[in-house]
Structure 1
Amino acid sequence: MLVTGARGVGKTTTARQIAKSIAFFDDLATLTVFQDSPEAALAQFQEPLLIDEWQMGPEVVRAIKRTVDRDRRPGRFILTGSPDPLSRSEFQSLTGRAAIVRLNPMTVRERTSRVAHPHGSTAVSNLLNGTPPQSRPEHVPDIFGYLDIAAVGGFPECAAESSEAYSQTWCRDYLRVLLRRDLPLFGSRRSASHFRRYLSAAALHTARSPEDGSLRNAAQVNPGTHRDYRHILLDLDVTVEVPAFINEEIPALAKSPKMLFSDSGLLIAAMNKPLAQLKLSGDLYGRVIETFVLNQLRAEIEALDRPDALSHLRTHKGVHEIDAIIETDDGGIIAIEIKSANRHRPADIKHIEWLSQKLGDRFRLGLVLTTGAYISHVRSKVTDKIWAAPISLLWH
């Protein structure tokens, strides 16, 4: 198993909970043993064996391939680390022999210790069943409270402190180290200052398509550099991309993904604006709220073993847009709009209504998530399946 995710997200700490032995490749003595005789070294450890920072000794991957081919028992090896371009090609030799698991930053539900039993019911699992929201959350923040929660983010170091000021300092330092230590792995000619400018522009364009040209123009880079930088951010797990919703019966659907920062704390730090200033900019904090909520949904859906269930919808020229589309096990569709306002407005449901007409019986539920305090059944002349609810429903 290869556990992927951003640096500092808790890959090693999590994997240690199921490993019986550990080999740390950032320890030179251990690394030397594996470089000298990788297969013999593997045999010295109890399984499951966790190999941390495996990319520092990529030759061990070939040894694991040979070992696994001889003994196909699952769960023998766990690899954690941050693959660079050179080691990634080595890992490809394990295709068909290894599972890849992405570890996301912690959700608010995890941070506040409201994690249910694996078979228990959660707000997102209820949505996947087409169940409308039922009970109002005990605590509902206002817009500025949500922004404070988003500023903390989901990295364990920040979640433990639960302080937006501490988290923002940590995230800014994290990005500086990333530029100094990891960017050179993608080519010695990469300019840290140019990439930093691109990073800030990407933060200001989160929750948009990376292919619409506005990000490239804002970052002042040519198409080739934009393409390279976009994939570096993905490789570093700083950003993720939500695929476009596909339905052959609906014409003019755009196929471009939506780019998101993988953590809202990192996003705010990359915007390079004080939190107090961000709270006075409706357009910017709207993007932060959308990114924050989509990451809560994305992590919950992946934890339910439905990594391909989340998408976004946009028709050409943006005539119709829906922030999140979730496909249920039986092919039903849940449509979600995310709003930073404290109440829903008639215009907030028009795209959901349009989609319900297009899908017919496949449409199971429409949901408008707001910074308001109440759950309500939204009046519509088109469908009786639209509800409005507080964002905090996702973790209560």
Structure 2
Amino acid sequence: MRHASQYFPRHAARLIEEALADTRVVVVNGARQSGKSTLAEEVRKQQPAAVARFLDNPGTRAAAADPVGFLQHDGLMLIDEVQRVPDLWLAVKYLVDRDPRPGRFLLTGSARLLALRSLPDALPGRSETIELWPLSQGEIDGMPDGFVQAAFRHGAQLRAEAAGLGRRDYLARARRGGYPEAVHRDNDRRRARFFADMSRLAGAVGITVPTVRTWLRILETIFLIKLVPAWSANRTARATSTPKVMFLDSGLAGHLAPGAAPDTSSGRLIENAGEIIAIEVKSAETIRSEDFRGVRLLQRRLGARFRAGYVLYCGAESLSFGDGLVALPISALWTTPSA
């Protein structure tokens, strides 16, 4: 178990560094407690002559009363919790319009105020937003998370080394989730306290459909859920089909789902790990030919465009089921190199 002060290297760090090389303002957006401030500070440390301004400090916030003077600096400036001083938005725009060098500002803020999504509109052509999700299994374990790239590259020839994990291990990882604070805690009881603090959501009965849609948009804006469009080869059908609502963190989903005990219904937490084109995820430790039924249906519909089909399961073997179909351990998602 890592100590809470230890940093998990994030894949998004490379995206931020690339953006800073050619973009004036880079925004790190994401859910509360996903590690935005920690990641931004780690990136800042790698930049020569960079400085940081943390606006949760009352003294620093008071100094921002003169926004333009507050922002004067020759190198990169990290501004954490930028939404606490709304006047800084226009001051940043003013400065980067007059000095268009890339890598001027790295901003983080709280998505709960619903402000950061409007930032690109305030800074058109001047900013790039990097979304930070909870930790992936590869980030937690120091593994490559290269499955998707490898799947497109190798197709049905892709194989994965067994990670020594069984169904209980996968369910434990799903319950743990990827919020750094939850990962650092030693047991499910302590993690439950963390999730309880995040999940004070009120329920209601008899509400209208527009109200439900509004709530879903809010939950998506604050990075608790993701609306995944229904898949279809036809763009019109995809646009009109009902999307799936997916929790962005399996640990929080498990906390909110009553009765998600290790041996019963928590298989859904694993299957929530990802359902994308030609991939099925099963919580069973054995695999059967009929588990490929949905993938085969997709294969027939796609014809020559079908690259390969995978069923990810809780077993340890990589098994070919012929005609471009392969069963792999779920751990292939994070242990597989992208090359």
Alignment pair present for 1:324 and 2:279? no
**What is the DSSP-based 3-state SS (H/G/I as helix, E as strand, rest coil) of the residue aligned with 1:129?**
helix
Give the corresponding residue for 2:78: 50
Q: Deviations over 1:259-307 (max 9, x none)?
A: 111101111112244x5xx23433xx2321122x22xxxxxxxxxxxxx
CA distance in 2, matches of 1:114, 1:373: 18
CA deviations on 1:77-111 (whole Å, 9 max, x unpaired) are 11101141467556631132110101111111111
1:251 and 1:85 map into 2 onto residues whose CA distance is 30
**Distance in 2, Cα, partners of 1:56 & 1:342:** 49
Q: 1:220 to 1:139 in 2, by over 3 A?
A: farther
Q: Structure 2 vs 1, CA of residues 387 and 254 (structure 1 numbering), >3 Å: closer, same or farther?
A: farther
Q: Secondary structure at the match of 1:360?
A: helix
Task: Letter of the 2:164 partner, please give it.
Answer: H
Give 1:48 shift: 1.3
| Counterpart position of 1:244 | 230
- Does residue 110 (structure 1) correspond to residue 139 (structure 2)? The answer is yes
Q: Given the superposition, is the C-alpha separation of residues 129 and 69 from structure 1 closer, same or farther in structure 2, using an over 3 Å criterion?
A: same
Unpaired runs of at least 5, structure 1? 117-121, 177-194, 199-218, 295-322, 326-334
Other-structure match for 1:229 = 215
Greater length-normalized contact order (CA 8 Å, ≥ 6 residues apart): 2
Distance in 2, matches of 1:231 and 1:46, equals: 39
Distance 1:231 1:251 in 2: 21
Q: Return the offset for 1:252.
A: 8.4
Give a deviation string over 1:232-254, Cα, whole Å, max 9, x none. Answer: 21122111122333423997886
- Name the count of aligned residue pairs: 303
CA displacement at 1:52 relative to structure 2: 0.8
In 1, Cα distance between equivalents of 2:244 and 2:172: 24
Residue in structure 2 matched with residue 157 of structure 1 by the alignment: 181
Contact kept in structure 2, 1:61 and 1:91, CA below 8 Å = no
**Cα 1:90–1:368 shift into 2, 3 Å:** closer
**What is aligned with 1:138?**
163
Q: 1:16 aligns with which of 33, 41, 47?
A: 41
Candidates 324, 328, 332, aligned match of 1:385: 324
Query: Which amino acid in 2 is paired with 1:360?
Result: G
The percentage of aligned residue pairs carrying the same residue is: 32
Moved more, 144-153 or 348-357: 348-357
Q: Are the aligned partners of 2:29 and 2:130 in contact in 1 as well (CA < 8 Å)?
A: yes
Corresponding residue SS for 2:256: helix
1:388 CA displacement: 0.7
Contact 1:153 1:167 (C-alpha < 8 Å) held by counterparts: no
Aligned residue identity for 1:22: A
1:174 aligns with: 198
> Does the Cα contact within 8 Å between 2:55 and 2:81 map onto a contact in 1?
yes
User: Which amino acid counterpart does residue 364 of structure 1 have in structure 2?
Assistant: R
Give the corresponding residue for 2:57.
Answer: 27
* 1:346 and 2:298 correspond: no
Match of 1:271 in 2: 257
| Counterpart check, 1:258 vs 2:244 | yes
One-letter amino acid of the counterpart of residue 248, structure 1: N
Distance (whole Å) between structure 2 residues aligned to residue 254 and residue 87 of structure 1: 28
Cα RMSD (Å): 2.4
Alpha-carbon spacing, 1:115–1:166, altered in 2? closer, same or farther (3 Å): farther
In structure 2, relative to structure 1, the CA distance for the partners of 1:87 and 1:6 (3 Å cut) is: closer
- Kept in 2, the 8 Å contact 1:5–1:104? The answer is yes
List gaps (5 residues or longer) in structure 2.
1-25, 45-49
Q: 1-side partners of 2:314 and 2:192: how far apart?
A: 22
Correspondent of 1:356 among 280, 299, 309: 299
Which string of whole-angstrom CA distances, capped at 9 and with x for unpartnered residues, describes residues 148-200 of structure 1? Answer: 11111111112223533322221112224xxxxxxxxxxxxxxxxxx4226xx
Q: Which amino acid aligns with 2:175?
A: A
CA distance in 1, matches of 2:114, 2:138: 34
Q: What is the match of residue 287 of structure 1?
A: 268
TM-score under structure 1 normalisation?
A: 0.70
Q: 1:246 to 1:338 in 2, by over 3 A?
A: same
Q: Does 1:336 align with 2:279?
A: yes
Deviations 1:15-36 (Å, cap 9, x if unpaired)?
Answer: 11222211111222222222x3
Q: Structure 2: how far apart are the matches of 1:161 and 1:113?
A: 18
- 1:152·1:162 contact (CA, 8 Å) conserved in 2? no
Distance 2:255 2:223 in 1: 15
Structure 2 CA distance for partners of 1:220 and 1:268, relative to 1, 3 Å:
farther
Deviations 1:94-150 (A, max 9, x none): 13211010111111111112248xxxxx333211314333243231222x2211111
Mapped contact 1:151–1:264 kept (Cα < 8 A): yes
Asked whether the 8 Å contact 1:237–1:262 carries over to 2, the reply is yes
Q: Distance in 2 between matches of 1:360 and 1:156?
A: 42
